[in-house]
Amino acid sequence: MIEPKNKPGYTDQSLIRNFCIIAHIDHGKSTVADRILQLSGIVPEREMRDRFLDRMDIEQERGITIKSQAVRVPWTFDGTEYTLGMIDTPGHVDFTYEVSRALAACEGAVLLVDATQGIEAQTLSNLYMAIDHDLTIIPVLNKIDLPSAEPDKHAEEIAGLIGCEPSDVLRVSGKTGEGVAELLDRIVMEVPAPHGDPKAPARALIFDSVYDSYRGIVTYIRMEDGELHAREKVHMMGIGMTHDPIEIGVISPDMMPTKALGAGEVGYIITGAKDVSQSKVGDTLTSAVRPATEPLPGYRDPQPMVYAGLFPIDNAQFPELRDALDKLKLNDAALIYEPETSVALGFGFRCGFLGLLHMEIVCERLDREFGLDLISTAPNVPYDVTAEDGSEHHVTNPSEFPDGKIKKIVEPMVAADIITPKEFIGAVMDLCQDHRGIMGTMEYISSDRVEMHYRIPLAEIVFDFFDQLKSRTKGYASLDYHEDGEQAADLVKVDILIQGDKVDAFSAIVHRDKAYSYGVMMTKKLRELIPRQQFEIPIQAAIGSRIIARENIRALRKDVLAKCYGGDISRKRKLLEKQKAGKKRMKMLGHVEVPQEAFIAALSTGDAGNDRDTKDKIRAAQKTEG
């Protein structure tokens, strides 16, 4: 193992190169990072494990959750030892803001693209973000060892995107190590050194913050100006909290406490913070003794963009759900939740998420890590509603939608970038148009792939857009989106009534044009899902007091065992006992018994009604409106 000469806290900025790797999820980032650690010599050959950075085994052994890393790597070029700060970026669409903070901690970015697949929409959007941050881009094609690699084609594509020569695109193989040393040389040569003020009061950017069950909150920082010393009180300028640091240090490749961190360096700090909301990504950390006056730019609180209700199927699990959410919150400042009571679903939480993926991750963790069986309501976005009387409502739950006349409804918009093979341009245009998208520009990124830009209401994306995009393009299209202001829209709240009673869990805020299809679809679904009972059950969809769709569950006429002789009695009694136990898991809506499964199935998206009956009913409903 090599002992680096450059010591943390005492490394001249001119010898530092901070960079990140921008790559799509399966394009081989971890493998390349592993090779970098190996070549640098900080991980001995025998300890080298595949995908060292992901540390899944360590997570399991020690219960540490490390979602991101900032590793200090020595690299000697031309006889001089340089210190590389390799910063990992969270890889997906909901965490745009976190990605932007990671980029802000770097001067350069390695654009890593799979030579067999070419660039993906999310990578492209992160690339544009890196260019916006004035990062030096080093384009690299990975997996050149694979027989299906098309490096020439994709080098051309990348060159077109970033304005370089195809020959500037490095070719590496994370698997064989080919080209990785050359990549490190390029980083030293091309990525600019940091140029903060080492004499100024300390200012450090928090670019990540994770909860470790042994050490508490570990905060990753990039020093801009000045120095921080161990045991020096620190102040978070954005949230205005002061902490006593327990430890500061660097990761190389394990946590290594140091006496100080100097300008340009990347490291970590452990404070007594209890959860990540006390140490937020984007905030500026300064010395409490000699504080800076101006924070670094760009801090903001992540705003939830998608809301849904989460309810335990077994209401007795409500306290467990609360505990589980509290635990997830330790590591996820963006997750917000508050208790909610639903007539139909009982006690649960209204949760706010950064996006759909974030919601899926949270639900999956609640299921897998905490063993909770949940029903989630259909996701919705926040709306700003102005009633006719002028009162204003921030609606994050359809139940908060004001009754009576509405003057104005404003909904969040996103800018969506879609990369697709050109043969699906028509299909993507149809889909976006169906979802109220306004087309912007469209560029060919290569001879057979285009990038299309749309402005679309977030609510449309949240519903079933991504699944449909994938199915209409045979899985080839990729999507990225980011917030893009808001717009006023003609939206209505559709309620579902069972036997005349509103079922809160099924209410939805939809565009007026979609209200009919939502109403028809839901009423039809529920008619199938709710078992017949002793009386007729009308199921209606309504906008305000106006019924827009109706189905009837006819009264049950026969529920009797034909033969009940000597040999049937025991079996019949046991069957009745079983049915009685089953009834306990039914929800009572008024007099109507609704099985749990009906809620789950009705709230799942997916099989949008394309059958003839559904279409006829939607058309009929729209006609009565016209």
Partner 1 sequence: MLEVYVHVPFCMRRCGYCDFNTYTAVDLGAGASRGNYANMVVREMELTRQWQLDHGIEEPTADTVFFGGGTPTILSADDLVAMLDAIRRIWGIAPGAEITTEANPDTVNEYYINRLAEGGFTRISFGMQSAVPHVLRTLDRTHTPANVAAGVEAANKAGLRSSVDLIYGAPGESLDDWRTSVRTAIDLGVNHISAYALTVEPTTKMGRQIAAGTLPKPDDDDEAAKYEIADDLFTAAGLEWYEVSNWARPGYESRHNLGYWRNVDWAGLGPGAHSHYNHAAAAETADVEDAPDAFDTAKQVHGLRSWDIAHPRLWGTAINESRVPWGGSETITPGENLEELIMLGLRLREGLDLNRINQAVAEAESNGETAPFRQIDPAELRPMIDDGLIVVDADSHRVVPTRKGRLLNDAVIERFFDLAGI
Asked if 610 interacts with partner 1 (CB under 8 A), we say no
Segment interacting with partner 1 (CB under 8 A) among 287-295, 449-457, 482-490, 577-585: 577-585
Query: Is 529:602 a contact under the CB 8 Å cutoff?
Result: yes
- Phi, psi of 184, rounded to the nearest 5 degrees: -65, -40
Asked if 581 interacts with partner 1 (CB under 8 A), we say no
Question: Minimum distance between the CB of residue 343 and partner 1, rounded to whole angstroms?
Answer: 23
Question: Minimum distance between the CB of residue 34 and partner 1, rounded to whole angstroms?
Answer: 54
How far, CA to CA in Å, does 384 sit from each of 5, 134, 336, 412, 432?
A: 57, 35, 19, 9, 24
Q: How far is CA 603 from the centre of its chain?
A: 21
Residue 583 is labelled as binding a ligand: no
* CA dist., res. 496 & res. 44, Å (int): 63
Q: How far is CA 301 from the centre of its chain?
A: 15
User: Which residue from 240, 566, 606, 626 is in contact with partner 1, where contact means CB under 8 A?
Assistant: 566
Residue 175 is labelled as binding a ligand: no
Segment interacting with partner 1 (CB under 8 A) among 112-120, 413-421, 570-578, 605-613: 570-578
Q: Which is nearer to partner 1, 405 or 563 (CB)?
A: 563
Segment interacting with partner 1 (CB under 8 A) among 139-147, 275-283, 344-352, 558-566: 558-566
Residue 380's identity, in one-letter code, is: N
Question: Minimum distance between the CB of residue 315 and partner 1, rounded to whole angstroms?
Answer: 21
User: Which residue from 579, 581, 606, 612 is in contact with partner 1, where contact means CB under 8 A?
Assistant: 579
- Phi, psi of 345, rounded to the nearest 5 degrees: -110, -5
Asked if 558 interacts with partner 1 (CB under 8 A), we say yes
User: Which residue from 573, 585, 615, 619 is in contact with partner 1, where contact means CB under 8 A?
Assistant: 573
Residue 315 is labelled as binding a ligand: no
Asked if 534 interacts with partner 1 (CB under 8 A), we say yes
Q: Which is nearer to partner 1, 502 or 527 (CB)?
A: 527
493: CB partners within 8 A, 6+ apart = 398, 401, 507, 508, 509, 543, 544
Q: Which is nearer to partner 1, 197 or 577 (CB)?
A: 577
Q: Which is nearer to partner 1, 199 or 557 (CB)?
A: 557
* CA dist., res. 213 & res. 226, Å (int): 31
* CA dist., res. 505 & res. 398, Å (int): 9
368: CB partners within 8 A, 6+ apart = none
Residue 389 is labelled as binding a ligand: no
Q: Which is nearer to partner 1, 407 or 571 (CB)?
A: 571
Query: Is 296:224 a contact under the CB 8 Å cutoff?
Result: yes
Segment interacting with partner 1 (CB under 8 A) among 35-43, 61-69, 331-339, 561-569: 561-569
Q: Please provide the DSSP assignment of 490-523 as one string.
A: -EEEEEEEETTEE-GGG-EEEEHHHHHHHHHHHH
Residue 29 is labelled as binding a ligand: yes
Q: Which is nearer to partner 1, 195 or 554 (CB)?
A: 554
Residue 293 is labelled as binding a ligand: no
* CA dist., res. 168 & res. 173, Å (int): 16
Residue 28 is labelled as binding a ligand: yes
Asked if 580 interacts with partner 1 (CB under 8 A), we say yes
Segment interacting with partner 1 (CB under 8 A) among 345-353, 484-492, 505-513, 553-561: 553-561
Can you read off the two tokens belonging to residue 255? 């946590």
Helix (H, G, I), strand (E, B) or coil at 60: helix
Count Cβ atoms below 10 Å from residue 168 Cβ, excluding itself. Answer: 15
User: Which residue from 148, 545, 570, 610 is in contact with partner 1, where contact means CB under 8 A?
Assistant: 570
User: Which residue from 199, 368, 557, 584 is in contact with partner 1, where contact means CB under 8 A?
Assistant: 557
* CA dist., res. 383 & res. 394, Å (int): 6
Closest of 268, 281, 200 to residue 238, by C-alpha: 281
CA-based end-to-end distance of the chain: 78
Q: Which is nearer to partner 1, 404 or 566 (CB)?
A: 566
* CA dist., res. 298 & res. 146, Å (int): 41
Asked if 569 interacts with partner 1 (CB under 8 A), we say yes
Asked if 556 interacts with partner 1 (CB under 8 A), we say yes
Question: Minimum distance between the CB of residue 556 and partner 1, rounded to whole angstroms?
Answer: 7
Question: Minimum distance between the CB of residue 579 and partner 1, rounded to whole angstroms?
Answer: 7
Q: Is 469 exposed, middle or buried (0-12, 13-18, 19+ CB in 10 A)?
A: buried
Segment interacting with partner 1 (CB under 8 A) among 300-308, 311-319, 408-416, 554-562: 554-562
465: CB partners within 8 A, 6+ apart = 431, 435, 456, 479
Asked if 584 interacts with partner 1 (CB under 8 A), we say no
Q: Which is nearer to partner 1, 394 or 557 (CB)?
A: 557
For partner 1, what does the binding mask look like between residues 481 and 520, x meaning CB under 8 A? ----------------------------------------
477: CB partners within 8 A, 6+ apart = 121, 418, 419, 420, 421, 424, 428, 469, 470
Residue 144 is labelled as binding a ligand: yes
The dihedral region occupied by 518, where left means phi > 0, alpha psi between -120 and 50, and beta the remainder, is alpha
Q: Which is nearer to partner 1, 60 or 579 (CB)?
A: 579
Residue 31 is labelled as binding a ligand: yes
Question: Minimum distance between the CB of residue 113 and partner 1, rounded to whole angstroms?
Answer: 51
Binding site for partner 1 (CB under 8 A): 534, 554, 556-567, 569-570, 572-573, 576-577, 579-580, 583
Residues making up the binding site for GTP? 26-31, 142-145
Residues making up the binding site? 26-31, 142-145
